Structure 1
C-alpha cells in the first residue's frame, strides 16, 4: 500500500515536484535591490541582512530592501500614528495590529513587534532600531496662563494628563541628582490612548508626558513646548522584537531595516 501525502500518492508527488523548474524556484526567492536589479537568495547573508541583524554596515550602509510579500506587525498606537502610518514599506503588505498590551508572538503569529518596553526586549529576541526618550510638554497657551514649572516639585500645582500604561501615569519620573525620583501630578484627564492625551495637551488642558517621536512635529511647529528638559529621566530605545533572531525571513529583515531608516528620521530625544 502506498502512503499518501496531501491527497496524492507519493510517486505522483515526486513526479509533480520534478516538474517544478529551477527558474520558477529561483524567481520565488529573488531579492529586488535598490538599483532595480534582482539577485537570488543563495542562503548567504547579504549586506541588507547583515546590517539588519547586527546594526553594523557590511562594506557600506545598504538602502532598505524591496520585497514583495506580507508581514504581520504589532505596534503601539503612538508609534503607529507617528511612524508606521507615514512610513509604509513599498514592497510589503503589512498586516498591522495596534495594541500596547503584552502579546505572545508565536501564538498570535506576529512577525515583528515594535516595542518601547525594555521588558519585551529582555524576554524575547530583539533588534534595536533607534534610541528614544520621553518629554514633558504643554501648549504655549497653557504655559501663558499657568506659568512654566521650574522643577519637578512644581507639578503639584499644574494640571496633569495621565497616561495609563506609560511612564507618565499617576507619578512621573524625573532625575534628582544621579537617581530617578517619581513626582505626583494633579490629574485632570487620564487615558490609555496617547493620541487622545496629545490632542488635549495641544488644546491647552495641561502638562503631558510623551515619547519624543510622538510629539516631535508638535514641538517643531510650536504647538507644544518642552518643559523640565534638564530633568529628563527616560532615555531608552525602540526595538523590533521577533520570534527568532537567527532565523528571520527576508521579509522580516527588510522590514526591520526599513523601520531603522524611518526611525533615523525622528527627532528622538533632540526634538
Structure 2
C-alpha cells in the first residue's frame, strides 16, 4: 500500500472533520471546502485502506467498527501534525509580550546584569516582570511563565530543567580574622560578628554539616543589609563573617579581600532548576530566555 504523506493528511483531515461534524455538509461548511471534495477524500482513504469507514444513507452517517477504531488514531495523528507545525511556527516567531519570572533575591541579583539585561536589549518587544518574594509562587494560578528555584522541587506537576548548582559558604576578610581569630567550629560564631541579608530582627540560623548530619547554629548579626552585594562588600571591609553565594564573593576572593572559613562544615550546593507550568511547547519569549539562562549557567558552572 503506497503511502503519500501530503495526500494522507488531507484524507485524515477530511475524515475527522466529517465524523466530528456528523455529516459532509456540516464539515464542508466548517472547513470552507466543497462537499464533493471531502467526499472524494474520504473515498480515497477507504480505497487506500481497503475497508469501509462510514455507512452513508440519505439521512444519517455512522462509523463502522473499523471506522471507529481508525477515527481515534486519525484524530490523534492529525493533532500531532498540527502541534508539529505549531512548534515550527513558534520557533520562527519573534519573542514578544510580558515575561513573568520569579526567583530568590540572591539569584535575581546574579542574573539581572548577566542574563536579564542582555535579554531585554536583544528582544525589545518583551517586557520582563521579576518577582523576588520569599513565598513560593503558584506559577499556573498566578500567571507566571518561569521560576528559577534552588533546592529540591516539591511540585511534581511542573516541568523542570536543571540549570546548575548553587554553591556558597562562609567568608571573612583577612583583616577581620587577624583581629578576631579564625573560627574552628560553628559553635564559635557566637563570639564573632556576623553579617546577614535580612530585614527582620532577632537571631538567624546558619546551616552546617558534620558527616551525614545537618544542623543549624543561631547567630545574632551585628550587621543586617538588604542584598548579598552589600553583605559581601561589608565583609570585605572587615565588618564580620558573612554567609553568601559564591557569585557575590568571587570578585573579593580573587583579590584576597575575602577568604573562606569553616569550609569543612559548609553544606554542599543545591541544584538549580528552571520550572514552568505544563502545557506543551514554550512560547518564544520563554524559550529564548531559558536558552540564555542555561548558557549562562554552563559558562559559569557552579556559581550561584
Measured against the shorter chain, the TM-score band is: 0.5 to 0.7
Report which structure shows greater RCO (CA 8 Å, sep ≥6): 1
Write the distance in 2 (CA, Å) between the matches of 1:215 and 1:101.
Answer: 22
Which of 268, 275, 282 is 1:248 aligned to? Answer: 282
The RMSD of aligned alpha carbons is 3.3
Which residue does 1:42 correspond to in 2? 85
Hey, what does 1:22 align to over in structure 2? none
Normalising by structure 2, we get a TM-score of 0.59
2:300 is the counterpart of 1:266 = yes
On the 8 A contact 2:167/2:269 being kept in 1, the answer is yes
Deviation at 1:245, TM superposition (A): 6.5
Paired with 1:73 and 1:112, the residues of 2 have a C-alpha distance of 5
In the superposition, the TM-score normalised over structure 1's length comes to 0.65
Aligned with 1:76 (options 104, 111, 116): 104
Contact 2:164–2:301 (8 Å) recurs in 1: no
Pairs within 5 Å for 1:29-178: 42-43=85-86, 68-70=95-97, 71-87=99-115, 88-89=118-119, 91-92=122-123, 93-102=126-135, 103-119=137-153, 124-164=158-198, 170-178=204-212
Deviation string 1:197-222 (CA, Å, 9 cap, x unpaired) is 23322222111111222322232232
User: 1:76-105 CA deviation, whole Å, 9 max, x = no partner?
Assistant: 332222223123225333513141322232
* Structure 1 segments (4+ residues) deviating >6 Å: none
Alpha-carbon distance, 1:258 to partner: 1.2
Given the superposition, is the C-alpha separation of residues 193 and 118 from structure 1 closer, same or farther in structure 2, using an over 3 Å criterion? farther
Name the SS for the 1:244 alignment partner: coil
Structure 1 residues 175, 245: CA separation in 2 closer, same or farther (over 3 Å shift)? farther
Mapped partners of 1:243, 1:108: distance in 2: 11
Higher strand share: 1
Structure with the largest fraction of helix: 2
Q: Could you tell me how far apart the structure 2 residues matched to 1:108 and 1:192 are?
A: 26
Contact 1:133 1:237 in 2 (8 A): no
Change in 2 beyond 3 A, CA 1:129/1:67: farther
- The secondary structure found in structure 1 opposite 2:114 is coil
Provide closer, same or farther for how the CA distance between residues 195 and 108 of structure 1 changes in structure 2, counting only shifts above 3 A: farther
Mapped partners of 1:76, 1:82: distance in 2? 10
